[in-house]
C-alpha cells in the first residue's frame, strides 16, 4: 500500500443510499477501502450504508469482505480490513418513509459531533432522488455541511433532466450537488488537462490550423445482458454519448480555463457544449448512424443478438419483433463545433456494445505537411497523430514520420512510428487508481472540478434532444451489425464521406 500524498480528509460521514446494491458493493466500497488503505480517509470517517434490505451490520460486513477478497485480492489485507470495517454501519431504510430518516438522523447523532460533513450518495434509481432529498430536507439532514452525490441517468431528455435537477434543488444548493460522470475520474482523462495546458508543445497547434480532425471511440465487448430493462429505454446515445463522450470532447475542445477551480473549468466546458452545431434536417441521415448487434462472436465466444435478448426479456409483455422498438447499441456521429478554434474540424464520435475490442481512445489527427521535399508525395506521408488511450491501458502515443533506416541513396523511405508513453511504466504506478477513488476523495474534500454542473448537463441534453427528435421524425431506424465487428457499414462510411477513416 502506498501512503497518502496529501493529508487525510476532515472527519466526515458518507451515507450511501442503495448501499446494498451493485454500485455500492462493486465500486464505492472497494474505492473507499483503497482510499483508507492508502491513508487518505480521516480516522473519524464513517460510512453508513442504507438500503431496504433487512440486514445486520455484521452480516453486511462479512458479505463485503467476500466481495473485496474476490474483487481486489491484491489490496485485501486483514489489518487494513479491520481498520476499514470499523468505519462501517448498516441501517435498513425505506426511501419513501420519513420516519426511517428520523432514525437515520438518530444514528448519525450517535456517530458524530454536530458539524461534521455529511455526504449523501444516492446510488439509487433517479426516480428516488426527489423523494430521498425531500426526506433528507424534512429531517434537517441538508444543512450547510452536507452534499448530495448523484449519478446518471440524469434524465432521458432535457425535460426529465430539469425535473430531476429541480427536485434536488428544492433541498440542496447547486454547490452542494455533485453530479458524477465516472469518466472524469479516470486518470488519463484528467491527464488531458495536463497534456494540453502543462506543455507548450501542443497548444499552439491545438486548433483548426494544426488539427485536421478528432476521433473519440469508446468500444465495449460487453453486451446488454442483465441490463435489458435499463437499455430498452436508453440506448448508446443517451447511455454513453450524452455524458461520457461529450465530457471527453469538452476537455479536448475547451479554451484554457483561468485555473482549475470548479467553475472556471465548467464555464469553459459549457461554452463547448453550447457551440455544438445542432444535428437536424438532412444532417440526421448524413451525420448520425445508429445500430444494433445481431448474433455473432466476440473474443471467440458466440453471443446472442440484441433483438433475441430483448425478445426473451420481454416475453411476458408485447413481443418486440423489429428494430424499430429497440434503442441502439451503437452510435456514431460527425460533430462540428461552431467557434473560431474549431471551425472546419470534424469530431467523429462513436461507441458501441459487442465490438471486437474493449478500449477508449481519443485520436488527434494533425494536418498534413504543406509540401514534400521527398520522393514520396505529400499525400503519401502520414500526418502526425496523437493517440490518447484511456483504457484498458493508459498510454499516449505520438505518431511521427521518420526515415526508414537504410543505406539506399536514391530515395529516402519515410514511415510513421510511435513515441509511446505508458503512464504506469513512466510513473512506476503500483496499482491502477479507480475513477471512483478520485471522485469520492474529491466529494469528501468538497472539490467539485470533476463533477458536472447543472447547466452543463442540460446543455448536453438540449443538443442530444435534436438527434433523438430527428431519429423519430425521419423514422431513422437502426442498422444492424454482427456482434464482434466494428458496427454497421454506414458507420465506416461516416468519415469516408469526408475522405477519412476510423483509426483502428
Ligand atoms: C456506464 C454505462 O456509464 O459506463 C455502461 O451505463 C458502460 O453501459 C459503462 O458499460 C462503461 O464504463 P467503463 O468505465 O467500463 O468504460
- Please identify, by atom number, the ligand 1 atom nearest to the C-alpha of residue 230: 6
- Ligand 1 mean position to 355 CA, how many Å? 14
Q: Whose CA is nearest to atom 7 of ligand 1?
A: 240
Amino acid 494: pLDDT: 96
What whole-number distance in Å separates Cα of residue 287 and Cα of residue 274?
18
Residue 38 near ligand 1, beta carbon < 6 Å: no
- Ligand 1 mean position to 392 CA, how many Å? 13
- Ligand 1 mean position to 485 CA, how many Å? 19
Mean confidence (pLDDT) of the chain: 93
What whole-number distance in Å separates Cα of residue 211 and Cα of residue 208?
5
Q: If you average pLDDT over residues 12-19, what whole number do you get? A: 97
Residue 36 near ligand 1, beta carbon < 6 Å: no
With b for 16 or more beta-carbon neighbours within 10 A and e for fewer, the 361-381 pattern comes to bbbbbbeeeeeeeeebeeeeb
- Which cell numbers in the block locate residue 450? 470533476
Q: What is the pLDDT of residues 420-466, one digit of tens each?
A: 988 888 888 777 889 999 999 999 999 999 999 999 999 999 999 99
304: left (phi over 0), alpha (psi -120 to 50) or beta: beta
- Which cell numbers in the block locate residue 16? 450511501
Radius of gyration of the chain (CA): 24
CB atoms within 10 A of CB 74: 7
Q: What is the pLDDT of residues 376-433, one digit of tens each?
A: 999 999 999 999 999 998 899 999 999 999 888 777 889 999 999 888 888 887 778 8
Amino acid 409: pLDDT: 73
Q: What is the pLDDT of residues 87-131, one digit of tens each?
A: 999 999 999 999 999 999 999 999 987 789 999 999 999 999 999
**Which domains can be identified in the chain, with CATH numbers?**
12-151 (3.40.50.720), 184-360+433-496 (3.30.360.10)
- Ligand 1 mean position to 10 CA, how many Å? 31
Do 212 and 368 contact (CB within 8 A), yes or no? yes
Query: Quick check: is 42 catalytic?
Result: no
Do 285 and 477 contact (CB within 8 A), yes or no? no
Whether the pLDDT of residue 6 is over 80: the answer is no
Residue 434 near ligand 1, beta carbon < 6 Å: no
Residue 220 near ligand 1, beta carbon < 6 Å: yes
Residue 181 near ligand 1, beta carbon < 6 Å: no
Q: What is the DSSP string of 396-441?
A: EEEEEEEEPP----S---EEEEEEEEEHHHHTT-SSPPPHHHHHHH
Whether the pLDDT of residue 319 is over 80: the answer is no
142: left (phi over 0), alpha (psi -120 to 50) or beta: alpha
Under the banding of pLDDT at 50, 70 and 90, the label for residue 229 is: confident
Under the banding of pLDDT at 50, 70 and 90, the label for residue 161 is: very high
Amino acid 323: pLDDT: 56
Q: Which residues contact 260 (CB under 8 A, 6 or more apart)?
A: 193, 449
Q: Whose CA is nearest to atom 15 of ligand 1?
A: 220
Q: If you average pLDDT over residues 173-191, what whole number do you get? A: 94
Do 320 and 311 contact (CB within 8 A), yes or no? yes
Residue 361 near ligand 1, beta carbon < 6 Å: no
What whole-number distance in Å separates Cα of residue 176 and Cα of residue 234?
28
**Which of 239, 242, 246, 434 to probe ligand 1 with, by most ligand atoms within 8 A of CB?**
239
Amino acid 298: pLDDT: 95
Q: Which residues contact 150 (CB under 8 A, 6 or more apart)?
A: 122, 126, 129, 164, 168, 177, 178, 179, 180
Whether the pLDDT of residue 375 is over 80: the answer is yes
> Pick the catalytic residue: 171, 182, 244, 399?
244
Under the banding of pLDDT at 50, 70 and 90, the label for residue 230 is: confident
Under the banding of pLDDT at 50, 70 and 90, the label for residue 322 is: low
Amino acid 313: pLDDT: 80
Q: If you average pLDDT over residues 74-84, what whole number do you get? A: 92
Amino acid 38: pLDDT: 93
| Cis amide leading into 151 (omega within 30) | no
Amino acid at each position: 500500500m502506498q501512503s497518502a500524498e496529501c493529508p487525510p480528509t476532515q472527519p466526515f460521514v458518507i451515507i450511501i443510499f442503495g448501499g446494498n446494491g451493485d454500485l455500492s458493493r462493486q465500486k464505492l466500497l472497494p474505492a473507499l477501502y483503497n482510499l483508507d488503505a492508502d491513508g487518505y480517509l480521516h480516522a473519524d470517517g464513517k460510512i453508513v450504508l442504507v438500503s431496504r434490505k433487512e440486514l445486520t451490520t455484521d452480516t453486511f460486513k462479512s458479505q463485503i469482505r467476500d466481495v473485496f477478497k474476490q474483487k481486489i485480492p491484491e489490496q485485501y489485507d486483514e489489518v487494513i480490513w479491520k481498520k476499514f470495517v470499523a468505519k462501517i454501519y448498516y441501517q435498513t431504510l425505506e426511501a419513501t418513509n420519513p420516519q426511517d430518516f428520523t432514525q437515520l438522523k438518530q444514528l448519525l447523532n450517535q456517530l458524530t459531533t454536530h458539524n461534521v460533513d455529511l455526504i449523501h450518495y444516492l446510488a439509487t434509481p433517479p426516480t428516488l432522488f426527489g423523494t430521498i432529498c425531500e426526506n433528507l430536507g424534512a429531517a434537517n439532514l441538508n444543512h450547510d455541511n452536507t452534499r448530495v452525490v448523484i449519478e446518471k441517468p440524469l434524465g432521458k431528455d432535457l425535460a426529465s433532466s430539469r425535473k430531476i435537477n429541480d427536485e434536488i434543488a428544492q433541498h440542496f444548493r447547486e454547490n452542494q450537488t455533485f453530479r458524477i460522470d465516472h469518466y472524469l475520474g479516470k486518470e488519463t482523462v484528467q491527464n488531458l488537462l495536463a497534456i494540453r495546458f502543462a506543455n507548450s508543445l501542443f497548444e499552439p497547434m491545438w486548433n483548426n490550423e494544426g488539427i485536421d480532425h478528432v476521433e473519440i471511440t469508446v468500444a465495449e465487448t460487453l453486451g446488454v445482458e442483465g441490463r435489458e430493462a435499463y437499455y430498452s429505454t436508453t440506448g448508446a446515445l443517451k447511455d454513453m454519448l450524452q455524458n461520457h463522450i461529450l465530457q471527453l470532447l469538452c476537455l479536448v475542445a475547451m479554451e484554457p480555463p483561468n485555473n482549475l477551480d470548479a467553475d472556471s473549468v465548467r464555464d469553459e466546458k459549457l461554452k463547448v457544449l453550447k457551440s455544438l452545431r445542432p444535428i437536424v434536417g438532412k444532417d440526421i441521415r448524413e451525420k448520425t448512424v445508429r445500430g444494433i448487434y445481431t448474433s455473432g462472436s466476440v473474443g471467440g465466444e458466440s453471443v446472442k443478438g440484441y433483438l433475441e435478448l430483448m425478445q426473451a426479456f420481454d416475453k411476458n409483455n408485447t413481443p418486440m419483433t423489429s428494430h424499430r422498438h429497440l434503442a441502439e447499441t451503437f452510435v456514431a456521429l460527425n460533430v462540428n463545433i461552431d467557434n473560431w478554434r474549431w471551425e472546419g474540424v470534424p469530431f467523429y464520435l462513436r461507441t458501441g456494445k459487442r465490438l471486437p475490442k474493449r478500449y477508449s481512445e481519443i485520436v488527434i489527427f494533425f494536418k498534413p505537411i504543406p509540401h514534400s521535399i521527398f520522393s514520396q508525395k505529400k499525400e503519401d506521408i502520414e500526418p502526425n497523430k496523437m493517440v490518447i488511450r484511456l483504457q484498458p491501458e493508459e498510454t499516449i502515443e505520438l505518431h511521427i514520420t521518420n526515415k526508414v533506416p537504410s543505406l539506399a541513396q536514391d530515395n529516402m523511405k519515410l514511415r510513421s512510428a510511435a513515441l509511446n508513453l505508458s503512464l504506469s511504466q513512466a510513473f512506476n504506478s503500483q496499482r491502477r487508481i479507480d475513477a471512483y477513488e478520485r471522485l469520492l476523495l474529491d466529494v469528501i474534500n468538497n472539490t467539485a472540478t470533476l463533477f458536472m454542473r447543472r447547466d452543463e448537463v442540460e446543455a448536453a441534453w438540449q443538443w442530444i434532444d435534436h438527434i433523438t427528435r430527428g431519429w423519430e421524425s425521419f423514422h431513422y431506424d437502426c442498422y444492424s451489425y454482427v456482434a464482434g465487428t466494428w458496427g454497421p457499414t454506414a458507420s465506416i462510411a461516416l468519415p469516408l464521406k469526408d475522405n477519412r477513416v476510423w483509426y483502428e
